[in-house]
C-alpha cells in the first residue's frame, strides 16, 4: 500500500512538471509583444478637496480631505487615491487579429500587519488591459470633439494585475510558481523578470479557455480648447463585461459629472501622440487590394511584434507576387528583418536596392535616408567598420541626426 501511494505521488509530480514544461514551450511559440509603441510618463493629477478647492500632484491623484487634515501612514500618502509611473501601449497578435496592451505601472505597497497599519513595504505593481487595436480610433477620433467629454468602452479581451511585478518567486529551474514576493513569502528566493511572460500567459489562458475574463476598462477623455491652449483630461475606470452595468456607467446621466472630482491632465499633444503613435502601427489588412498588398501588410505586422521568421516569409511571398516592385519600403523592411535575424549580408543587398529606389515624394525622404544608417549597422556587424562609418556619415549629412551618436561612439567623428 505504501509503495502504491509513493508511486501515485511520483506520477502526479511528473505530470505537474510535464504540465509546467508544456506551458513553457507553448509560451515560446505564442505571439510576443511589440516593444513599447507610445507612453505617457508625466501628468498632473487633480482632486476636488473637501474645502472646495482643487489640489494637484505629479502623476498622482491627491486625497480629498485637506479640510479635515486626516493623518495616514506615509506609505498610503505616497499612493494617493491613484497614481502611475507610466502608461504604455504595446501590440500583440491573437489569432491573426491586432490587439493592443495598455500597461499601467504604479507605486504600490502593503503592511506586514494590515490591521495595525505597521511595517509598510513599498514596491511597484502593474495593471494590464488587452483590447482590439481598432479601439484606438475611438480614443482619438479624426474630428476631435473639443470641450465635449466622451467614453470609450475598450471591451477588453483580458485584464490583470501583477503585484510587485519586478520580482517573481521560483523553485528549481523550470517550476515557476508564478507568485509574487509580497508579505510572508518575501523571504523566498527571487529572480528579476519582465512582465511580458505573465501578460502573454494570461492571454494564452484566456485563448485556451483556462480562464474567463469579466474585467474591463472604460477610458474617459475630455479634450479642452481654451483660447490658444489645448489640454486633455482623462480617467481610467475599471469595470466589468456586464451589459447592464456598462449601460449604466456609460449613460450620460451618470458620466456627465465624471470629471468633477478627480482626473489626470496633460497637454493635448501628449495625449494625441500617445494614441496616434500606437495607431500608426495598425495595419488595415482587410483593405489589401492585391495578394502583394496582403503579404506586405502581414510582413509589417509580423515585424512589429518581433516575429522575424514570419515577417521574412510574408515579405518573400509579396516579392513572388510582384518581383518588379519599385517600393523602396518593402526592401527596407526585409532588410531590417534579415538584419534582426543576423542575416547581415542579405540585409545589405536589400538596403542597396532600397537606396537605388529613391522616392519621388518628399514625405518619404526621411524613411529612405534610414537605409544608409541601417546598412551601416549591418556592415558593422560584419566587421566592416570603415563601410559602417561611411554609411552613418552619409545618413547624418542627409539629415538623420540619430546617426551622430554612432559616429561619435564607433567612428571617432565628433558631430557636436
For residues 254-282, average pLDDT: 92
Could you say which architecture CATH assigns to the domain 285-410? Alpha Horseshoe (1.25)
* Per-residue pLDDT at 65: 84
Reduce the DSSP state of residue 213 to 3 states and report it: coil
pLDDT digits (tens, 9 = 90+) for 55-111: 999 999 999 986 565 677 777 888 999 999 999 999 998 888 899 999 999 999 998
Q: Which is higher by pLDDT, 34 or 16?
A: 34
Rounded mean pLDDT of 17-44? 63
Domain with CATH 1.25.40.10 in the chain: 285-410
Statement: residue 19 has pLDDT above 90: no
Mean pLDDT of the chain: 84
- Residue bearing the bigger pLDDT, 44 or 166: 44
Q: Coil, helix or strand for 159?
A: strand
350: pLDDT confidence band, cut at 50, 70 and 90?
very high
**pLDDT score recorded for residue 23:** 37
Amino acid at each position: 500500500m505504501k509503495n502504491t501511494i509513493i508511486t501515485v505521488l511520483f506520477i502526479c509530480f511528473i505530470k505537474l512538471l510535464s504540465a509546467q514544461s508544456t506551458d513553457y514551450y507553448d509560451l515560446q511559440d505564442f505571439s510576443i509583444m511589440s516593444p513599447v509603441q507610445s507612453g505617457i510618463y508625466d501628468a498632473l493629477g487633480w482632486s476636488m478637496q473637501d474645502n472646495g478647492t482643487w489640489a494637484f500632484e505629479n502623476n498622482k491623484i491627491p486625497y480629498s480631505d485637506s479640510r479635515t487634515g486626516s493623518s495616514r501612514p506615509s506609505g498610503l500618502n505616497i499612493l494617493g487615491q491613484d497614481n502611475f509611473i507610466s502608461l504604455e501601449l504595446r501590440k500583440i497578435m491573437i489569432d491573426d487579429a491586432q490587439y493592443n496592451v495598455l500597461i499601467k505601472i504604479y507605486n504600490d505597497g502593503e503592511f506586514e500587519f494590515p490591521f495595525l497599519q505597521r511595517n509598510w513595504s513599498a514596491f511597484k505593481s502593474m495593471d494590464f488591459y488587452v483590447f482590439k487595436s481598432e479601439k484606438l480610433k475611438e480614443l482619438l477620433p479624426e474630428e476631435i470633439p473639443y470641450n465635449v467629454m466622451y467614453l470609450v468602452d475598450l471591451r477588453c479581451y483580458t485584464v490583470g494585475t501583477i503585484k510587485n511585478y519586478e520580482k517573481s518567486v521560483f523553485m528549481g529551474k523550470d517550476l515557476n510558481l508564478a507568485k509574487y514576493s509580497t508579505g510572508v513569502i518575501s523571504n523566498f528566493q527571487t529572480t528579476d523578470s519582465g512582465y511580458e511572460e505573465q501578460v502573454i500567459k494570461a492571454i494564452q489562458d484566456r485563448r485556451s479557455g483556462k480562464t474567463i475574463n469579466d474585467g474591463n476598462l472604460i477610458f474617459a477623455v475630455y479634450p479642452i480648447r481654451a483660447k490658444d491652449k489645448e489640454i486633455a483630461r482623462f480617467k481610467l475606470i475599471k469595470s466589468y463585461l456586464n451589459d447592464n452595468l456598462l449601460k449604466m456607467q456609460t449613460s450620460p446621466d451618470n458620466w456627465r459629472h465624471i470629471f468633477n472630482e478627480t482626473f489626470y491632465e496633460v497637454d493635448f499633444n501628449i495625449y494625441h501622440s500617445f494614441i496616434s503613435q500606437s495607431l500608426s502601427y495598425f495595419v488595415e489588412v482587410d483593405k489589401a487590394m492585391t495578394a502583394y498588398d496582403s503579404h506586405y501588410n502581414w510582413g509589417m505586422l509580423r515585424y512589429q511584434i518581433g516575429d522575424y521568421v514570419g515577417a521574412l516569409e510574408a515579405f518573400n511571398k509579396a516579392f513572388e507576387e510582384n518581383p518588379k516592385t519599385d517600393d523602396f519600403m518593402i526592401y527596407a523592411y526585409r532588410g531590417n528583418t534579415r538584419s534582426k535575424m543576423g542575416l547581415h549580408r542579405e540585409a545589405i543587398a536589400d538596403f542597396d536596392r532600397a537606396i537605388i529606389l529613391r522616392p519621388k515624394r518628399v514625405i518619404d525622404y526621411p524613411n529612405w535616408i534610414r537605409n544608409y544608417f541601417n546598412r551601416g549597422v549591418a556592415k558593422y556587424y560584419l566587421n566592416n567598420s570603415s563601410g559602417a562609418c561611411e554609411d552613418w556619415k552619409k545618413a547624418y549629412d542627409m539629415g538623420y541626426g540619430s546617426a551622430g551618436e554612432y559616429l561619435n561612439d564607433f567612428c571617432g567623428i565628433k558631430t557636436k
